[in-house]
Structure 1
Amino acid sequence: MSTDSGASSAAPKGIRMVHAVYPGQDKLFRDIAVSSEFLKANQKYFGVQCTQCQVKMEKLLKCSKCKSVWYCSKECQKKNWSTHKPTCHADERSSGLFKLVRMFSVNPVLMGYLKTATVFECGLLDNRRVGFDTPFLARIEIAIEPSDVLNFGGLYVNDPTVEEKLEGMLQVNAITAWQSPSMQAPLTPKRLNTWREARARCNAEGFAEDPVGLVEFIGHRCTEDSGNSMTAELHIPNITLAVAMTRAPFTSVSAITGIRTEKPLSAASCLEFINSHIRADKQNQLRLRTEMTEQDKEVIRAAGRNEDTFPARILKEKMQREQLYAGFVQLTRTVVT
């Protein structure tokens, strides 16, 4: 892809982007990827509670504006409106992020690596009472990026030739812990009750020695720090703790040089694996692809303009961490006003 524009806010002249793929990528994906049949069969285990009364629902009655909170009746929606109104914003995606988060959550490969990342980020190896005496919460910042990395580059440098209709895919941009110094506010009573119920249920089912916490998936917009979110219980099995303790490194192979490199097992490397695994899914076997909205695209453009919005900052931090974006981070544009 090359660009040539004289506009100050458009892409710089003469940029040429080339992307190489490791020849064995398809086989690596097939070796560990979960089948579509398995995911479809397990969707039923991803339940939803009424936002107001917490009753479990078979049929979703969602807010027609943000499409990211659910109610069992119109009565519960009216009772909850004063609480929900300040955070209710229109969402371009017809079903919000629910369908994508559901497919992610029933995927044992993706959740296994997310749980390992949570072990590191929430310090479960450092304090063995977290998840037992006290809860933990992992905040997962998610976004939609083009499935073709060259289209990502085109949006990043504001290339006007990028097609309007783009296939996107779910990506995990960051994970942060509720226990971190900047997030010491207590859990809401509703979340605390959710954790206590999950802890009691795991105890009753024979998992009393496994830590239990909460996970919050957050989809942010390009112009606001707030976004739609979904919170669920997070059971960390002992085998995940054992994997984290071994710290066996990730091995990757350069598509250009063929050189093998190792990355230490960490929260960041687990997220990079998750994102790479989703990107390698060319046939949408994992059901994590969707058409990009203008909001999705603008987050990437804003990062390229080096804007100081929360979603743009999170994306830039991800680009600094992951090898795929090494050639893009030097292309930040300065907007002339």
Structure 2
Amino acid sequence: MRMRMLGLVAAIVAVAIVAAGYGWWRWSHPGLPDGVTQTNGRIEAEQVQVAAKTPGRVMEVLAEEGDFVKAGAVLARMDTRDTKAQLLQAQAQLLAAQRTKEEAVAAVAQREAQRTLYRRQYGRTARLNKSGYASNDQLDQARAQRDAGDAAYDAAVASVSQADAAIEAAKATVQQIETVLEDAVLVAPRSGRVQYKLIQPGEVVGAGTPILTLLDVSDVYMTVFLPAKVAGGVRIGDEARLVLDPAPQYVIPANVTFVAADAQFTPKSVETADEREKLMFRIKLNIDRDLLARYATVVKTGVRGMAYVRYRSGVEWPATLAVKLPDEPR
């Protein structure tokens, strides 16, 4: 009898310990309120390909994998010796066109003076012919000189227009080559981290060949999938929270920036309510750009974790999902 009583007491104590432990676990891990759902995902960032615009030899690559670079930083340079020679030739052609215009302008002044003289001579000859002091041959000769002077003047004016066109063409060629030289210096289009170094100095590449792959750490997000019942209530701008596996003590705020219009996973035939529950929609959760700017040097992609999405407005976040961020890196 005594042994039975001891066994009963021991069982009661064990049940009490289990209940206390479960109660503590529930207190430290409260359930999610109705209107907040959870799922898992992975931190991602937009990738930017830094590529050669024109074919040529890569002279140097100034960034290494893992480097954090700011927008506008020089990442690589192409060999531009041939292009610089073309620029000198184009500049010489521009100078020649400008001198040709100067000569054409001087010719216009000369032809204008001759045209004025020939017109005056024709006028005097016409008056003399009318009075009988100049023959018709002299009048025809004066008229021919006048017409020749007008034609020479028009040709000189046309030469100036041609010179202007040649100058504009030469300027366009110079500008085009200067643009090629500018494009030969590859700069970071935005701040980010170098993920891959794809080309080594000395390699010859074609137009559009990627040299480096850059991760844009100002556009970081987690892609998750939610069932149709929940996704139907999610709206653009709804709040979310991210808890990453390597740092579960922190809670990162995010917002819904994309909700897929079509289901990503569907059964072969959707007929019953149970089957409709299997529909999954892609949701994109973006971290605020200003927040990312503060932690840009420590942002990493590929990290997995949990996402909590609020799909009903007005629902309060539980205390365990209050925003908590690490100290800002120096």
Q: State if a TM-score over 0.5 links the two structures.
A: no
Which one has more relative contact order, counting CA pairs under 8 Å at least 6 apart?
Answer: 2
Higher strand share: 2
User: Shorter-chain TM-score category?
Assistant: under 0.3
| Structure with the higher helix share, 1 or 2 | 2
> Given the two structures, how large is their TM-score scaled by the length of structure 2?
0.17
Which one has the largest radius of gyration? 2
- Normalising to structure 1: TM-score of the pair? 0.16
